[in-house]
Chain A
Amino acid sequence: MKVDLDIRIHPLTRVEGHGNLLVRVMNGRLEEARWDIVETPRFFEVMLKGKHYTSAPILTARICGICSIGHALASARATERAFGVEIPEAAARLRLLAKHGETLQSHILHLLFLAAPDFLGLPSVLPLVKEAPATVALAARLKGLANKLCDVVAGRTTHPVSIQVGGMAVFPDRTALGALRDELAAGAGDLEAVAALFKTFEIPAFSRDTEFVSLKGDGDYPWIGGDLVSSDGVNRTEGEYLKMTNEFVDARNTSKLCRLSRESYAVGALARWNNNHHFLHPEALRTADDLELRPGCRNPFKNNLAQLVECVHVVHESVRLIDELLAVPLGTSTMAEVTPRAGEGVGAVEVPRGILYHHYTYGADGRVLRANCVIPTTQNNLNIQHDLKALVEKFAAEGAGDARMELFCSMLVRAYDPCISCSVH
């Protein structure tokens, strides 16, 4: 059957921010398939100019309401590298623990509140409040656990307060940390229930070869700082991020776009999985096996599964980190001495949607002269556009109608868990 399709979604729902989908198929042939970013620009890089270094993590956290901890971490790291500051080991552990809390919070929000309704044939999670209260309770419990972890370690989930240049401003309450440890152990059981639910979901049969970019693991599954790697064999240092991202501006999108070795590349949980899966916690690898997520996966819809696998990893790793932190002697410093100096620094952090870079140039007075932030969704937007074309071609050839095609296209974009406000910043 030769189909005609005309799909316009202005803007797409159940994603963070504003993006429009447009698909036109005539007589079974793809005429146009577009993913346009129309979010309002905020000009954070301009607002950073002249600001004192202590303001940078506070301001840049506001780039994103979901991954503000990741922004604060990348920001503090960029400044610390510019000033030549080494943070205390206890602070590094606390930062990683806060990072894990955010990864869990963001992934659970995406998987259970934003993505799951598509697989269940529902317009949102709201009908489930009445129809499947146990599932909603499970989702709320896991998200609550993640938020509590962020609150205890970073002072707040959205727009953290303890992540400051030099380390972490306070050592968390030890009783609260101990209680969290037990809750996290219970959370691992809840994640098994989520995995069982996702096992029942039908993942669309679609794949497209692309390049995957992430931090490069060196003994551990990497989250904060280190070398950069792509699945096409590009290796760079953190400071060479511009050669990895190659941002450019086009007329149609308020987000910039990125490419590396080919027409586009992908970042995020699936990229991290493909590049670093062998460093995951054994329980996470078991979950991956159970969900039939394999290394070298080229199906973008399986980014959902990679996120779920990462949830298992961060819950188990958080238990280990808390044990280590509870063994840290009382009175151990979590802040290094900070002396501003002229120079520049780059901070790279794997945030929920992929690798994030902050880059600042400072004057000797510790005020920002120049700033650049490269956002995961900015890097994914072009890859989404290319996926979308391939997806429409495939399913149009199979005779998919308007409703089915609209669902697949929406699900594809949602699978990337785009953070569009972030990508425009």
Chain B
Amino acid sequence: MRYLNIGARHPRVGVFDFTDCEGCQLQLANKEETLVAFLQAVEVVNFREIATDASDDYEIAFVEGAISRSDEVERLKKIRERAGVLVALGSCACFGGVNRMKNAFDLDEANAEVYGGTPKETLPVRSVKEVVPVDLEIPGCPVSKDEVERIVRHLVLEVPFSFHAYPVCVECKQRFTTCLMERGQLCLGLITRAGCEAPCPAGGLGCWGCRGPAEAPNYEEFFALAKERGFGEAEINERLGFFGGFEGIKVGEAR
């Protein structure tokens, strides 16, 4: 890969997973038409899910998953020490993801419900940046491989990357998707950060806000609009709390 006679570096990359479904690292192996080029742009030296040989000498660590056990805290700290750049990959790593909903329950009761009299160690769910410093966050449940590719290109060429400031709503308009709010569904696309290219509304599902807030979202206007269309506060709050990206944002209980 050369441009203007300048050869790009092939940074050594590790991919690591914690409390999650491993769906984001799977996206790295997707988008088959550019997979080979992607694998040649970087040097994958540590990726447990697809490779047996592993090195601790890596420059960029992609960290997937939330943190919810003490051994995970220790493993994450070691990765942070070794990596020059630590990238949080996916909504679990960025916000805690759906796992964060566990924090609304008493953990001893949760343990008793699932494991009966043989409880397993579990901590309140934290995002990666709540445990170690993070250099870059790529949200999404799962992440969009297109966006990951764009970001990796920037990392390889050492050019800063910036996310879209606008919300998912704009991407629906770009692809001519009929508005899900107009079709009677609640949709967080008005306040959620774009970059996914809005696959959910196109598939008939209102946005669930997996990518977290767009820049300067107008929550009050969104709440007013959602209520005007008959959506209750419980429904709006359940949606806002789903992926952890809107932590602390709630439509008020008072009318």
- Name A residues whose Cβ lies closer than 8 Å to a Cβ of B: 11, 13-17, 40-43, 45-47, 49, 51-52, 55, 58-59, 62-66, 68, 109, 113-114, 117, 123-126, 129, 133, 136-137, 140-141, 143-144, 147, 154-162, 164, 168-170, 249-251, 254, 256, 410, 421-422
Contacts and interface: CB of A to CB of B under 8 A. Distances in A.
27 contacts: A13-B52, A14-B52, A42-B19, A42-B68, A43-B110, A43-B114, A45-B114, A47-B98, A52-B238, A55-B238, A59-B98, A59-B242, A62-B21, A62-B23, A64-B21, A68-B23, A124-B52, A125-B50, A143-B30, A156-B203, A157-B30, A158-B26, A159-B141, A160-B203, A170-B203, A251-B118, A256-B115
A14 B30 contact: no
B38 to A, nearest CB: 10
Given A47-B102, A47-B105, A168-B204, 17 more contacts: A13-B48, A13-B52, A14-B52, A16-B49, A40-B69, A40-B72, A59-B101, A62-B21, A109-B29, A117-B52, A136-B36, A155-B202, A156-B203, A159-B23, A162-B203, A170-B203, A410-B52
Contact of B20 (A47, A136, A249, A421): A421
B242 A155 contact: no
A11 B39 CA distance: 24
Contacts of B235: 52
Nearest to A172: B203
A114 B50 contact: yes
The 6 closest A-B pairs by CB, nearest first: A155-B203, A65-B23, A169-B204, A144-B32, A124-B51, A161-B203
Interface in B103-141: 105, 110-111, 113-118, 120, 122, 141
B23 A47 contact: no
Contacts of A140: 32-33, 35-36
A250 to B, nearest CB: 7
A65 B21 contact: yes
B205 interface: yes
Given A55-B238, A157-B30, A249 B199 contact: no
B44 interface: yes
Contact of B102 (A46, A133, A168): A46
Given A125-B50, A129-B40, A47 B205 contact: no
